[in-house]
Amino acid sequence: MKIGSPKEVFAGEARVAMTPDSALQLQKLGHECFVETGAGTVAGFADEAYTAAGVTVVADEAALFAAVDVIAKVRAPSDDEARMLTPAQTLISFFNPAGNTELLELCKEQGATVMAMEMVPRISRAQKMDALSSMANIAGYRAVIEAGNNFGRFFTGQITAAGKVPPAKVLVVGAGVAGLAAIGAATSLGAITYAFDVRPEVAEQVESMGAQFVYLDFEEAQKDGAETGGYASVSSPEFREAQLAKFREIAPDIDIVITTALIPNRDAPKLWLADMVASMKRGSVIIDLAAERGGNVEGTVPDEKVMTDNGVTIIGYTDFPSRMAAQASSLYSTNIRHLLADLTPGKDGVINHNMEDDVIRSATVTRGGEITFPPPPLKIK
């Protein structure tokens, strides 16, 4: 089959869904590879590097869409891109099918097969295709780097001839994939790192990464993640009050807060309130990784950096993976390549879109002129 990646049209998006390395692997599966000219330039992959890897570079997006059977993208297609799809084509990208119902309808009308990367189920077999995790890992790491860039001091404590420097104190709220990556980056820079999550089972993971878990003086245990598929559920009002009281107590002592707390299918819970921001020291930094879903922090403005009256910087950027476009493209293109490997079981360049396969079925959101989202429950957990 012919597989191609266009240059992303979403403003500021620097990632690309195919790299020269992933193209080499796709060719081993029997596929031919194409990119639109300039598709990888911002991420650091020049047209010449693609050509050297056996990829055909085509002049524009329309030519790319006309040339290939499978389009691999990062962002959901624009309406113009969706209108170029044909019933014979498959599009693979992030799509947010629950929130993009009109786009889903348009792709159905076009008759194309669409696979949404965020719908890849989080089962062991599919970890290599889990783009939500690979991008969350980058977001967590980059959040720490961004915090450091806006924090006027060292993370690590030092005793030097020029004076004694205390270590920075970092609090990570939400210890999922992004939070654990942030803990790893902050501890490796030498900060004293604390973390909190409503799922009690993550305390061990937090501690194994060198951070201290923040325990609440509260008797009611939160639901174990095993009951909720590993995701958080909404806290009881009493638990939430105990959590806010603990945050209020520690806020004046924390230099950097990184929030990542999400609950599936809901707005992000507000956890770091205006009075906590107001009690932080001048020069402190907050990175709100939940900004796109409404933010965990009162005062976050999505895609902006704001400075409060008391000198606290609040960063609500929603494009952290794109800010590390080379790394993000390498990992994302590997996720796509693994998905295509499952779609090409014979390694003969022939795609077998097996709707009996849990992973392929879950990710497929339109096919044959039908909307196939939401998927049925998984057969294998």
Q: Which residues are catalytic?
A: 122, 127, 130, 133, 231
Shortest distance (Å) from residue 154 CB to ligand NAD: 27
Q: Residue 56 in 3-state DSSP?
A: strand
Shortest distance (Å) from residue 348 CB to ligand NAD: 28
The rounded distance, in Å, linking the Cα atoms of 302 and 293 is 9
- Closer residue to ligand NAD, CB minimum distance, 17 or 173: 173
Shortest distance (Å) from residue 214 CB to ligand NAD: 10
The rounded distance, in Å, linking the Cα atoms of 333 and 26 is 10
Beta carbons within 10 angstroms of residue 114's beta carbon: 31
Shortest distance (Å) from residue 144 CB to ligand NAD: 16
- Closer residue to ligand NAD, CB minimum distance, 70 or 214: 214
The rounded distance, in Å, linking the Cα atoms of 194 and 214 is 6
> Residue 120 carries which DSSP code?
S
- Closer residue to ligand NAD, CB minimum distance, 150 or 243: 243
Q: Is the dihedral of CA 203, 209, 210, 211 positive or negative?
A: negative
- Closer residue to ligand NAD, CB minimum distance, 263 or 325: 263
Contacts of 249 (CB under 8 A, 6+ apart): none
Shortest distance (Å) from residue 126 CB to ligand NAD: 7
Shortest distance (Å) from residue 318 CB to ligand NAD: 14
- Closer residue to ligand NAD, CB minimum distance, 64 or 173: 173
Q: What is the number of the residue whose Cβ is closest to ligand NAD?
A: 176
- Closer residue to ligand NAD, CB minimum distance, 74 or 258: 258
Which residues contact ligand NAD (rule: CB under 6 A)?
122, 127, 130, 133, 136, 173-179, 196-199, 225, 230-232, 235, 260-263, 269, 271
On whether the CB atoms of residues 342 and 311 are closer than 8 A, the answer is: no
Which residue, among 274, 296, 298, has the nearest Cα to 143 in the 3D structure?
A: 296
Q: Is the dihedral of CA 107, 7, 116, 290 positive or negative?
A: negative
Burial of 248 (0-12, 13-18, 19+ CB in 10 A): middle
Q: Give the E-state strand segments of the chain in sequence order.
A: 2-5, 32-36, 56-58, 70-72, 90-93, 113-116, 158-160, 163-165, 169-173, 192-196, 212-213, 256-259, 285-288, 305-307, 313-315, 364-367, 370-371
